[in-house]
Structure 1
Amino acid sequence: MAGLSNRSDGGAQLHELAAGHAQRWLADSDVAALRAAIDLLERAVAATPVGHERLVHRLLSLFLLLRDHFEFSSAAADLDRTIEAGEQLVAAMPTYHASWDRCLNDVASVLVWRYDRALDPCDLDHAIELRERVIAQAAPSSFLAHVNTRTAARSEYLGLVNVYARRYNRTGQLADLERIIEIRKLPIAGTALTDPDGPTWMSDLGTAYRSRYHHTGVLADLELGLRLGARAADALADGDPRKTEICHGLGDGYATLFKHDRSLVTLGRAIEFLELAVSMLPDDHADWSSAASYLAGLYGMRFDRSEKLADAKRAADLGEQALAAIAAEHPDLAVTLSRVGVAHLNLFSKTREPSYVKRAVELLEQAARATPADDPRWAGRIANVGMAYRGRFEVGGIPTSPEQLRTLAGHITEATNAFPSEQVRARYEVGSLAHALNEHGLAVELLDSAVALLPPAVPWEAGWQDQEGQIGRYPHLVGVGVAAHCAHGDPVGAVETAEFGRGLMLADQQNLRADLTELQALRPERANRLRELRARLTPGTSPVMPGPDSSERRGLLSDYHAEVQDIRRLRGFSRFLLPPQLSELRSVADRGPIVLVNSGLWRSDAVLITAENDPILIPLTGLTDEDLRDKVRELLDATGDSSPLTGTLKKRRVLHGILAWLKDTVVAPVLAAMHSAGALSQPTPRMWWMPVGPLSLLPLHAAALDTVVSSYAPTLRALSQARNRPPVSARRQLTVALSRTPGLNDLPGTAEEAASLHANWPGTTVLADEQATAERVLNALTEATWAHFACHAVADLTAPSHGGLQLHDRLLQLPAISALNLPQAELIYLSACSTASRGTRHADESLHLASLFQLAGFRHVIASLWPLDDTVAVAASRAFYDLLPSTPTADEAAFALHRVTQDLRAAHPDRPDLWASLIHSGP
């Protein structure tokens, strides 16, 4: 061969002798001959000059024989010798050698063998390097196009994927998963589903996308993975072993999607695919038990929603059958124990039957013991144990010792490879257990760390729906964290926990608009770089909604976060873009007290915040979480009933009851504390409510109507920002009124609202009916300082981002509103249905029209907690504007709305549904 010398060969005779021994080994499996061949070849290699044309051949023969000897002996020393010879071979073999690609792949495979034994990550790194060199040398498009090379191509690509998968499972590094997706895409480009390998390759790519979803939480990855998997399954016949595996994966994927959309249709799809997979597996198949246990978990999830006994029984029966069939050494034993344990725990949560939680504890403890501490699922297993212990305590009074609690907490800190979402859940579950057992110091420690981990668990690169799904997994976290601080006698910590853990999605948007004046003055290059990144992350009024290949956005966010971290290392900027501490925000209460109201699982409290004194803790002993959730369900049911007779009677009865209950359990003790603190000394005292969780759905202001002028604030930070915006110098009124909306009921009163505003402000810009398109409205908002919307609105209680204002051509959804930046906006009046309503799973996020328009720039927002009567809406808006002075600013808005509410109550004393809905948010 060209490039290899033909100098004197001292190893030729040794090589010939070795070849004879090698032949006897291959023919007769004579181990003595194999060892003799290896000894002679090692001497032949040593005697062969570097660069000699026969050196590569001898090294290759030596490597292959050493590999054979290791497969016979399984000795670690033999494996090391094999790898050493392989390294020499790789170094000596030129890339044009006919066996170069096979050689590198073979050496990579041996490195993986050693990794599987010794778990040295350097072996995986080197194996990846070798296989990447092989792939880089090939031209994928032409390489895969030829049928006669496709089998080899598939083998090489699969080999590289498998090594990356091993490293990802060990380290959890997203970059390895990104590379797996890139590799999985290559065979798809030139392959049809009718090709024998087509369904497999498409399914493999779908699985990779679903894996990336589990790492990042980006829902688009999950949805694309499911579409690819479903196409692959449809292309295969029943009974094909590949279809069994694919259906199993699709069942898992749809179950995960169910956690986002909470749709029983989605869960039904998951069960359908899993039932098909289980039915195609023989009962004695090695995978039957793990598939059956997972299916049991899905039935348990459906029972949690449907409460059908058939689902509960199917879950229990399948789970126990799976455990009876699974072998002790089965690699899925831990996950099977976990799934069946959770199925029993789900049944316990509905039935409170002690036998379920007893069995759950037994299984979940076994699952945790069977899971290595560096497994990414370790934190989730600890979370399940904590949840089971809490259930055992609640139903049977069986406590968990302080030592056990500390052990669980220690295990959580060891789970460094766990997904951020599972780290949050583990800290929440064990922290909640500690709180229930009155170990409040440990509870505060764990729950604070869970709240601190929420931002990485709710990734920016995810779209609104993805973020909602992630946040919806922790509906009680902030409430329990606040309660733990209150139980620990720490009202300051309670307020800061609420401040940090609520409104995360709004805080992300606020950070992208934060004032950089101070940074610009001291480090202009940093300010300019951050400003550039922010501009690229917020293009126009359509937020970037990432897809499965949103690597550019992830890269931008990585650069943005790195820049922010660098700025925090500068002197004087250690808390740059972090939620302000209470000491920095207390001055926002200089115009009236702010009251944080919280209902935890085991206690309820309010915290009174004033500008002059330390926060005051107010125990709310009459408020229970169970009662609160009952009242919220009653309110949502009643206000959603539009029937003219029964709906009216129901609303009247339910609202009267809720207002009386709120006055007794919340308002009375809060007002008493305010009186003691001297916060009610003004003739018309003002206050701001800051409710946590489902409390934010209730009309606290109406229960306090006779004593204070109420406003609402999602967070102290949001209130401070609204108050510190510069006042506007002119009133430029925009009115959007739709008396007719395609596909919806007419609203004849909206025309009257628009006419009234136009009469008082002749220069009003009016967009009515067909003129009120989304594009025109968005453009008009950029010029207006005041805005009035009289139209239909949509509030989606399960996915708030799907809500919005129903305009003539389409729904103006929350993400589009959040992208607005209106520095001159003063007041917006939302005379539409449920514009301040948010779902119970996302109550802490304040994701509704009122909060989003405040984020966009409006200092004052008037909105409604439930659907407005059209006639009352017209009267309320006219009276409100009549009471306001003719000034560009709207600082009297809260007082005007208070007066309007009192007048409406006087006109409709028996109909609180007509007068208690409107609320004010702002300074």
Structure 2
Amino acid sequence: MRILAQYAYKQYETRSDLNALGVSIRCYRIAMGATEDDHPEKVDIINDLGVVLHTRFECAGERQNLEEAIFLRQLANALTPDDSPDKASRLSNLAVSIFSRFQREGRAEDLEEAIGLWTHAIELVPDSHVHKHGLLNNLGSSHQTRFEQLGKLEDLENLESAIALHARAVDLTPDGHPDKPLRLNCSGNSHTIRFERLGDLEDIGRAIKLLTHAAELTPDGRPNKPGRLNNLANSLVRRYERTRDLKDLEKAIAHQSRAVGLTPDGHPSKPTLLNNLGNMLHTKFKQSGSLDDLDQAITHHINAVSLAPEGHFGKPTRLHNLGHSLLKRFNEAGNVPDLEEAIRCSTCSVELLPKNHADRASMLRLLGLLFDTRLRSSHAQADDATRAMDAFLEAMQHQNSHPLVRLRACVQYTILLSEFPHLFNATPPRLTLLDGYKYALGLVPRCIWLGNNVRGRYASEELPVIGVMVNSAVTAAISAGQYCLALEWLETGRAVVWSQILQLKTPLDDLRRLHPQLADGLYRVSQALQHAASSPSNLLPSSPGAHKAQPSLEGQAQSSHIYALEYEKLITRIRELGGFKDFLLPKTLSQLAGACASGPVIVLNIHNARCDALVLSQPDHITHIPLPEFSRTHAVKLHKDLWSILAARNLRGRFRDSEWYDDDNRGQDMPGNGVRNDPMFRVLGDLWNFVVKPILDVVTTLPTVTSTTGLLHITWCPTGPLAFLPLHAAGIYRAGRSVETIMDFAISSYTPTLEALLKPHVQTSSTGDYPRGLVVSQPATPGQNRIPQTTTEAGIVVSLTGLSTDTLHDSDGTVDAVLDGMETHNWVHLACHGLQDKADPINSSFALYDGKLTLSTLMSKHLPNADLAVLSACQTATGDAKLSEEAVHLAAGMLNVGFKSVIGTMWSISDRSGPIVMAKFYEVLMEQVRAGAELQPAYALHEAMKALRAELGVNKFMEWIPFIHFGL
């Protein structure tokens, strides 16, 4: 009878014949009943019946079959001694069934038991054992699931363990082994999951490579082929969502369609494959806008839901995806039954999903969006606002879910509360509007995680979401009259990645004096994380052989994650100590008050609802200046106009005189040549009329710190589109002259954050000794346009600054030489090409003789004795329009490396402008040095810009405006 049972099971495996599976179960039951307890085959029959019952559960999803399989497998294990050659496989079989129960019911104890069983099984067999790689693979999958289902960032070690175990399983499985595709598949999946959590493109590239190999090794007739194609398609979609390369999406849909076609209708995997194909077509709809793609997606989702048995653990996800697609179709076509059915599906998905499941926040957020959508329609129901609010609140507070999903739920919560406050008068929400924003800001460090490399942090989808959210939070605080809170929030949410980098460089003197071991541990981990930030995993391959370092890159990625977890644990321990409860927490206004020591700091918040200036002019006072005639829409328009002007002039690199300006074109209507209808007139005029002048009218009446020059020194901290507009040149201009401009009243500086202004002021010598300076000139950088005037410029700087200045001219100006020079000189002057990389901002660089000095390299430096950096290069303060709050440019990089004062450029500069500006700049600066006065680089640049305007004409805007000052 046992032989007949085995034959029937084989029929099921080859034909997916459920009737044969039923026959196998009946035969095994008869065999078990007919076999004496002391018969040597009794344990084998018990074990085999457990196997086929588990298979029946996988097909039908019936809990009874799973419970009986677990009971039989527990019995088989109890009857099998530890020294039996079958012990390890039976431990693994029991682990598989208990793991399945965890997937169905979400009980943490089941997952822990499964992990313990697989760990025990691995301990019983040597590496040479035929099943060792399979056991490692299963244990890796269980660790991966523990991270997925229960994990927070603190549990990332589980995913790292999974990746390491899967990699070891792949290595132990010989080529040609029938399980090699399975091992490759599992290893690829673990990399996909880490990419979903941390966003490193290295991971998804590795995943696609492994999964492609797994699919290629699996013949079309094998039952695992559809699953392998499904996983490959999923990884391609994930990369498409990041890179927007349509080839990835098209390949994904092709692979997934093939997987569906290879799977018979009664197969238990069919619902999953249909569900995923529906998701991919939904994604395609978002790109194509074709309702046909969306209709097909919904059809596949409906089939996936209908084919899934009741109680199947995948049912909640399929209902959620159907609800999502129905909501999208309602938004497109306005079909009310779609919205009602979406609410029903989403409600059911939330009810079926275990409370601690990692996807719960995502499902709750969709449910909230559905009630919110109905609230805004003509079919609103009385409790829609409350139900939406409750769903968003539970989603944002769900600790096991992805922090970005929680952050987005926070945003929806605050939007609902701000737009419909009257609906909650009778029953106030559990969190007020400001409380909601406070909760959201607390999630920011979790969204932009220190364990990711810097490139991954800047490229993540989280940063733009955070930028919008912070501006909304500040707007709410201003509307409530909470100006101090608004300023603190703006500081917390701006330049997030820079703040993380600077945090790693924080002096630990107080901590080391009281707790030397903790200080040493934190210093060690911080150094490791700083190294990871500028490691090769942050750099694009520079040669065909660069990809050979892939194994070390994988090790670096895992190490940085582990170091980040250790760093967070150390910070938590330190904050538990007496006197250190605020250690490395965002600064309060009282801690930021010193930012206004040299003059008022004006923080500009730009939002759709309102635009405002917050002026910090005294340590304990903030002045609020509303800007009612200005709007975010207006700011965006001015930004677009400016970039149109720059594009028309092709201002992307430093130019020679002949390239920059053609005397034969003086009378033509070209941007920047001084004719009356120059669009720059309107850009600068609007900035003056609607932003700068209203602020100056108030600021000039405040008690402020003025310089010895008699002009007010203002430091601008703009947000949104204003971060890319020349506030320092705002004014009313006519052909050939300026009528009323900011330069008549104030000297302007810029800062990415208030904290950047808390450094000691730039020092001068009381004895009249010149500072130690380094001048770098690159008149003929290989691969770049020649800029011969940099030699003239360097000569001017050396002659004015004296014998204490060293030079690196032409071929001497290598990357290593310049970096070494920054370590030993407190003034640095770079006359070279500057390159802003739009596709990869941290790859922006100074072009030096033997290569590029990139922003990512600068991030690893810390120069506490540096004073002044003059970047006489193009686009050193251009930044990335998608990351307006992050100041991802070379000038900010130099500021955060340690320089107190930085001269940069907003766009390309002409070769002739540099010498004129620098001659006047250093002339004024050295007068301050000789007088032993406090150095004022902002005033020196102000005078240099006036000199350039006098030389070229005030309406040569594109030549004199780009020079700006950052810092002190």
Fold equivalence (TM over 0.5): yes
- What one-letter code is carried by the residue in structure 2 that aligns with 1:322? H
Task: Specify the alignment match of 1:98 in structure 2.
Answer: 85
Distance 1:230 1:602 in 2: 49
Structure 1 window deviating more from structure 2 (453-462 vs 251-260): it is: 251-260
Any idea what SS the aligned residue of 1:844 has? Answer: coil
Cα deviations by residue, 1:805-830 (Å, 9 ceiling, x for unpaired): 11122221111111112122111111
Task: Specify the alignment match of 1:130 in structure 2.
Answer: 117
Cα deviations by residue, 1:309-366 (Å, 9 ceiling, x for unpaired): xx53454343344345443464766656666776788899xxx967399967964774
- What one-letter code is carried by the residue in structure 2 that aligns with 1:316? L
- What one-letter code is carried by the residue in structure 1 that aligns with 2:945? T
Structure 1 window deviating more from structure 2 (313-322 vs 459-468): it is: 313-322
C-alpha deviation, 1:720, in angstroms: 0.7
Change (3 A) 1:602 1:585: same
Q: Is the 8 A contact 2:778 2:809 kept in 1?
A: yes
Distance 1:131 1:651 in 2: 75
The counterpart of 1:844, out of the listed 885, 890, 914, is: 885
Cα deviations by residue, 1:6-52 (Å, 9 ceiling, x for unpaired): xxxxxxxxxxxxxxxxxxx9997597996797xx95xx8xxxxxxxx
Equivalent residues in 2 for 1:749-828, closer than 5 Å:
749-760=789-800, 761-828=802-869
Distance 1:241 1:69 in 2: 19
Cα deviations by residue, 1:143-185 (Å, 9 ceiling, x for unpaired): 3xxxxx4xx5665455445544554443124333233323322
Gaps of 5+ in 1: 1-24, 45-53, 144-148, 304-310
C-alpha deviation, 1:215, in angstroms: 2.5
Answering whether residue 510 of structure 2 is matched by residue 518 of structure 1, we say: yes
Q: Is the 8 A contact 1:541 1:817 kept in 2?
A: no
Equivalent residues in 2 for 1:215-364, closer than 5 Å:
215-233=197-215, 244-261=226-243, 264=244, 266-278=245-257, 281-282=260-261, 286-287=271-272, 289-303=274-288, 311-313=289-291, 315-328=293-306, 330=308, 335=317, 355=334, 363=342
Change (3 A) 1:114 1:518: closer
Task: Specify the alignment match of 2:440 in structure 1.
Answer: 450
Distance 1:816 1:70 in 2: 55
Task: Specify the alignment match of 2:920 in structure 1.
Answer: 879
Cα deviations by residue, 1:489-519 (Å, 9 ceiling, x for unpaired): 2111111111111122211221222122222
Task: Specify the alignment match of 1:7 in structure 2.
Answer: none
Structure 1 window deviating more from structure 2 (183-192 vs 798-807): it is: 183-192
Change (3 A) 1:518 1:116: closer
Distance 2:856 2:834 in 1: 15
Equivalent residues in 2 for 1:591-630, closer than 5 Å:
591-630=598-637
C-alpha deviation, 1:481, in angstroms: 1.8
Task: Specify the alignment match of 2:463 in structure 1.
Answer: 472
C-alpha deviation, 1:594, in angstroms: 1.1
Q: Is the 8 A contact 1:387 1:433 kept in 2?
A: no
Cα deviations by residue, 1:507-544 (Å, 9 ceiling, x for unpaired): 12212221222223333333333233333433599547
Task: Specify the alignment match of 2:524 in structure 1.
Answer: 532
Task: Specify the alignment match of 1:308 in structure 2.
Answer: none
Answering whether residue 456 of structure 2 is matched by residue 415 of structure 1, we say: no
Change (3 A) 1:603 1:391: farther
Task: Specify the alignment match of 1:658 in structure 2.
Answer: 683
**% identical equivalent positions:** 22
Change (3 A) 1:631 1:404: farther
C-alpha deviation, 1:762, in angstroms: 3.6
Task: Specify the alignment match of 1:893 in structure 2.
Answer: 937
Distance 2:52 2:222 in 1: 35
Q: Is the 8 A contact 2:392 2:412 kept in 1?
A: no
- What one-letter code is carried by the residue in structure 1 that aligns with 2:880? G
Task: Specify the alignment match of 1:186 in structure 2.
Answer: 168
C-alpha deviation, 1:786, in angstroms: 0.6
Equivalent residues in 2 for 1:355-504, closer than 5 Å:
355=334, 363=342, 366-367=345-346, 369-371=348-350, 372=353, 373-384=355-366, 402-437=385-420, 442-470=432-460, 471-474=462-465, 475-504=467-496
Any idea what SS the aligned residue of 2:208 has? Answer: helix
Q: Is the 8 A contact 2:368 2:392 kept in 1?
A: no
Any idea what SS the aligned residue of 1:548 has? Answer: helix
Any idea what SS the aligned residue of 1:835 has? Answer: coil
Cα deviations by residue, 1:732-790 (Å, 9 ceiling, x for unpaired): 11111111122221112211111111222244222222221111111111111111111
Any idea what SS the aligned residue of 2:192 has? Answer: helix
C-alpha deviation, 1:838, in angstroms: 1.1
Answering whether residue 199 of structure 2 is matched by residue 174 of structure 1, we say: no
Distance 2:107 2:893 in 1: 50
Change (3 A) 1:614 1:461: same
Any idea what SS the aligned residue of 1:538 has? Answer: helix
Structure 1 window deviating more from structure 2 (98-107 vs 598-607): it is: 98-107
C-alpha deviation, 1:244, in angstroms: 5.0
TM-score (norm 2): 0.80
Structure 1 window deviating more from structure 2 (397-406 vs 597-606): it is: 397-406
Distance 1:674 1:258 in 2: 49
- What one-letter code is carried by the residue in structure 2 that aligns with 1:226? I
C-alpha deviation, 1:917, in angstroms: 1.4
Task: Specify the alignment match of 1:705 in structure 2.
Answer: 743
How many positions carry a matched residue from both structures?
Answer: 864
Distance 2:443 2:213 in 1: 37
Cα deviations by residue, 1:592-639 (Å, 9 ceiling, x for unpaired): 111110112322221111225432222222222222223223323322
Task: Specify the alignment match of 2:721 in structure 1.
Answer: 694
Q: Is the 8 A contact 1:734 1:766 kept in 2?
A: yes
Answering whether residue 960 of structure 2 is matched by residue 918 of structure 1, we say: no
Cα deviations by residue, 1:225-273 (Å, 9 ceiling, x for unpaired): 1232344445567787756544544443344334544xx4x23322233
Q: Is the 8 A contact 1:297 1:340 kept in 2?
A: no
C-alpha deviation, 1:872, in angstroms: 1.7
C-alpha deviation, 1:105, in angstroms: 2.4
Distance 2:633 2:604 in 1: 16
The counterpart of 1:108, out of the listed 83, 91, 95, is: 95
Change (3 A) 1:629 1:226: farther
Q: Is the 8 A contact 1:111 1:123 kept in 2?
A: yes
Any idea what SS the aligned residue of 1:741 has? Answer: coil
C-alpha deviation, 1:95, in angstroms: 2.7
Cα deviations by residue, 1:365-387 (Å, 9 ceiling, x for unpaired): 74465143533233234445666
Distance 1:70 1:772 in 2: 69
Change (3 A) 1:890 1:797: farther
Distance 2:867 2:680 in 1: 32
Change (3 A) 1:882 1:395: farther
Q: Is the 8 A contact 2:749 2:965 kept in 1?
A: yes
Any idea what SS the aligned residue of 2:926 has? Answer: coil
Distance 2:434 2:234 in 1: 34
- What one-letter code is carried by the residue in structure 2 that aligns with 1:898? H
- What one-letter code is carried by the residue in structure 1 that aligns with 2:915? V
Over the aligned positions, Cα root-mean-square deviation in angstroms equals 4.0
Cα deviations by residue, 1:466-504 (Å, 9 ceiling, x for unpaired): 111224342412212211212222111111111111122
TM-score (norm 1): 0.83
C-alpha deviation, 1:893, in angstroms: 0.6
Distance 2:853 2:321 in 1: 41
Q: Is the 8 A contact 2:895 2:902 kept in 1?
A: yes
Distance 1:570 1:806 in 2: 47
Change (3 A) 1:376 1:365: farther
Answering whether residue 708 of structure 2 is matched by residue 684 of structure 1, we say: no
Answering whether residue 769 of structure 2 is matched by residue 742 of structure 1, we say: no
- What one-letter code is carried by the residue in structure 1 that aligns with 2:758? S
Any idea what SS the aligned residue of 1:735 has? Answer: strand
Any idea what SS the aligned residue of 1:370 has? Answer: helix
